[in-house]
């Protein structure tokens, strides 16, 4: 039989137009790994009931089952709902995915937690397109689950998921510039439909801070889960560096 690449299956919000092309670009020079995607309905990010119900497990599990048809090696929820629903909910989702499919699972937010712990990150600046109430919940989750303090926060008070992808790099840089006026161990960018990571190398070099974006940290962990050294990915953030995040 042909020796197939490792396959990463990603659960994708239906209105997301950023994560798929970004992940494909990240893996452009890594032929030993491929990404495969399954969508379910997500159009609004808020704390209203209609928005919260988008993340009921059953539609996500049905999408995960479709990824399992491709015999993927890991299934990843490439989304950030655990930031406001709770990291414990993400863990329950991963358990449910594995129970339904037999395939190990992770999420963007759980990948951030693991990256923070592995690289000894104790403080972050938070940048998102979200409303203040959601940002506050993310800050609380960071403190509760990985003892990470959030120094500065910048959000755009948007709720329409499609709009997140349309934020300009100029506006994103204004956010990053505003939060990095004070020191922190890392920059946390939360939202997988937010194009900040497309310029991760530029932002890390200009603002002298590693960027833990919810797209690049997820791919970092997925590579580890399929026994591929993350440092094969070049130019997409210090999180992939083999020599250590602070070097």
46-97 pLDDT, tens digit each: 999 999 999 999 999 999 999 999 999 999 999 999 999 999 999 999 999 9
pLDDT score at 1: 54
Q: 236 vs 242, which has greater pLDDT? A: 236
The beta-strand segments (E) located in the chain are: 6-13, 33-40, 74-77, 105-107, 123-127, 149-154, 186-189, 211-213
| The CATH number of domain 6-110+215-240, selected from 3.40.50.10860, 3.10.180.10, 3.40.50.12500, 3.10.100.10 | 3.40.50.12500
pLDDT tens readout for residues 213-226: 999 999 999 999 99
Rounded Cα distance between 181 and 197, Å, is 20
Bridge-partner residues for 124, per DSSP?
Answer: 150, 186
Is the separation of the CB atoms in 84 and 138 below 8 Å? yes
According to DSSP, the β-strands at 74-77 and 149-154 are unpaired
- Residues in the chain, overall count: 247
Q: Which residues contact 81 (CB under 8 A, 6 or more apart)?
A: 55, 89, 90, 109
pLDDT of residue 134: 97
Domains 6-110+215-240 and 121-213 alike in fold? yes
- Where along the chain do its domains lie? 6-110+215-240, 121-213
Average pLDDT, the chain: 95
Q: What is the pLDDT of residue 244?
A: 47
Is 121-213 a CATH 3.40.50.1860 domain?
yes
Tell me the mean pLDDT in the region 17-30: 96
pLDDT of 59:
95
Residues 201-212 have pLDDT tens digits of 999 999 999 999
């Amino acid at each position: 039989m042909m020796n197939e690449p490792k396959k990463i299956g990603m659960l994708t919000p239906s209105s997301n137009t950023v994560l798929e092309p970004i992940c494909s670009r990240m893996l452009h020079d890594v032929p030993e790994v491929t990404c495969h995607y399954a969508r379910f309905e997500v159009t609004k990010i808020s704390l209203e009931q209609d928005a919260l119900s988008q993340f009921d497990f059953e539609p996500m599990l049905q999408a995960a089952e479709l990824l399992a048809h491709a015999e993927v090696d890991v299934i990843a929820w490439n989304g950030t709902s655990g930031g406001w629903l709770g990291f414990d909910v993400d863990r329950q989702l991963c358990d449910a995915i594995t129970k339904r499919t037999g395939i190990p699972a992770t999420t963007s937010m759980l990948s951030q937690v693991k990256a923070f712990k592995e690289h000894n990150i104790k403080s972050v600046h938070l940048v998102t397109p979200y409303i203040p109430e959601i940002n506050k919940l993310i800050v609380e989750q960071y403190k509760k689950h990985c003892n990470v303090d959030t120094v500065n926060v910048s959000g755009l008070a948007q709720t329409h998921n499609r709009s997140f992808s349309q934020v300009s790099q100029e506006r994103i840089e204004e956010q990053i510039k505003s939060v990095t006026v004070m020191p922190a161990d890392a920059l946390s960018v939360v939202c997988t439909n937010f194009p900040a990571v497309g310029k991760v190398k530029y932002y890390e070099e200009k603002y002298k801070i590693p960027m833990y974006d919810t797209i690049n940290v997820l791919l970092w962990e997925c590579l580890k889960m399929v026994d591929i050294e993350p440092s094969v990915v070049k130019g997409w953030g210090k999180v992939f560096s083999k020599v250590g995040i602070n070097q």
